[in-house]
Amino acid sequence: MKDLIGIKELSRAQIEEILNTAKAFKEVLQRDIKKVPTLRGKTAINLFFEPSTRTRTSFELAEKRLSLDVLNFSVPTSAVVKGETLYDTLKTIEAYNVDYIVIRHSSSGAAKFIADHTEASVINAGDGINEHPTQALLDAFSILEIKGRIDGLKIAIVGDILHSRVARSNYYLLSKFDTEIRFVGPPTFLPSHPPENVKVYYRLRDGIKDADVIIMLRIQLERQKSGFIPSLKEYYHFWGLKKEDLSFVRDDAILMHPGPMNRGVEVSTEVVNDPRAIILKQVTNGIATRMAVIYLLRRS
Ligand code: CP
């Protein structure tokens, strides 16, 4: 594989290879000297056409830990604001002979478009409502690290599944394992024809009961017109995971959120602070997982 565009295209064996490699890199990141010379002399560029905190910073750290030379492309101060197209931006960057392009874009298919028009390895850091493959990989890594397995788990994905590229990539990944996948949310936030291997729940407590893993999602207001929910206050009342819901969560369950969180919308501060929440562990694991992806693309 030259590129990582989506989880859909990966086999279970490829996912397991990435997760095993991430485990080795996590050990490197716990040493005093966290950097390896593996990709010295290679260059990566991070092209973020949409805002990001976690994905952009952890890709940059992953690249630096692998000894890559790193360029961060700032869209608001670039010629994109003068009307330069995605294609011409790509050709300009390509002229620097870069080896890796990490791209986030609001259009589904933008990462594939870039990959089809460059010799560099392209990694999708989120394209529209399509996929966010490295988020699903770091989520799987985090589940594996804590639960010791993915097979046999009941995993509830709660919230705005319809507009979430994180939910889509997680669904593709979990479907390659022997998991029970639950979609939990109001009907307007769930696909009208859910996949056959998914159990659908319209009531929060029914959906989270007995789950081993609960993944809460942000409402993707930037990707939807109004009218999906009456109000954020009502959403929080019925669908937000709150202190009073925690007694319905298994003692050994893990609570996850890809971030950014909207406290008081999909999750309460008590939930974020609950010992079962691993939200910042997910952030930490983003570095090792992204190092693994970059490293393995180079080798294949
Ligand atoms: N989870 C995630 O993609 O977060 P950012 O938007 O901060 O990168």
In tens, the pLDDT along 65-79 reads 999 999 999 888 899
Contact 175, 183 (CB under 8 A): no
Pocket of ligand 1 (CB under 6 A): 52-55, 126, 132, 135, 258-260
- CA 183, distance to chain mean position in Å, is 17
Supply the pLDDT for residue 230: 82
CATH of the domain at 205: 3.40.50.1370
69 and 180 within one domain: no
Asked if residue 227 and residue 144 are part of one domain, the reply reads yes
For residues 93 and 141, state if they share a domain. no
Q: How far apart are CA 190 and CA 159, in angstroms?
A: 8
| Distance from Cα 58 to the centre of ligand 1, integer Å | 10
- In total, how many domains does the chain have? 2
Nearest one of 144, 112, 106 to 128, comparing CA atoms:
106
Structure tokens at 182: 């639950």
Closest approach atom of ligand 1 to CA 104: 8
Pair (230, 251) in one structural domain: yes
From the alpha carbon of 50, which atom of ligand 1 is closest?
Answer: 6
Q: Which of 47, 49, 53, 222 to mutate to test the pocket of ligand 1 (most atoms within 8 A of CB)?
A: 53
In terms of domains, do 186 and 108 share one?
no
Q: Which position among 54, 147, 199, 250 bears the catalytic label?
A: 54
Please give the distance, rounded to the nearest whole angstrom, from the Cα atom of residue 283 to the centre of ligand 1.
Answer: 9
Q: How far is the CA of 227 from the centre of ligand 1 (A)?
A: 25
- What is the pLDDT, as a whole number, of residue 61? 98
Catalytic residue among 104, 176, 182, 290: 104
Question: What per-residue confidence (pLDDT) applies to 298?
Answer: 67
Q: Which two tokens stand for residue 92?
A: 């300009």
Residue 223's pLDDT is what? 74
What pTM does this model have?
0.96
Would you say residue 270 lies in a domain? Answer: yes
Q: Same structural domain for residues 139 and 47? A: no
Confirm whether 4 is domain-assigned: no
Residue 29 within a domain: yes
Question: Which atom belonging to ligand 1 lies closest to the Cα atom of 125?
Answer: 3
Range of the domain at 225: 133-283
Q: Tell me, yes or no, whether 194 and 272 share the same domain.
A: yes
The reply to whether 119 and 221 lie within a common domain is no
pLDDT of residue 224: 72
* Interatomic CA distance for residues 282 and 287, integer angstroms: 9
Q: Assess whether 160 and 111 both reside in one domain.
A: no
CA of 150 to the centre of ligand 1 (A): 23
What is the Cα–Cα distance from 203 to 197, expressed in whole angstroms? Answer: 19
Q: ∠ CA(142), CA(54), CA(85), 5° rounding?
A: 125
Give the integer Cα–Cα distance in Å for 187 and 91: 43
Report the chain (300 residues): mean pLDDT per 10 consecutive residues: 97 98 97 95 96 97 98 91 94 95 97 97 97 98 98 98 97 98 96 96 97 95 76 93 97 98 96 98 98 86
pLDDT for res 300: 47
Cα 169 to ligand 1 centroid, rounded to whole Å = 14
On whether residue 147 sits in a domain, the answer given is yes
104 assigned to active site: yes
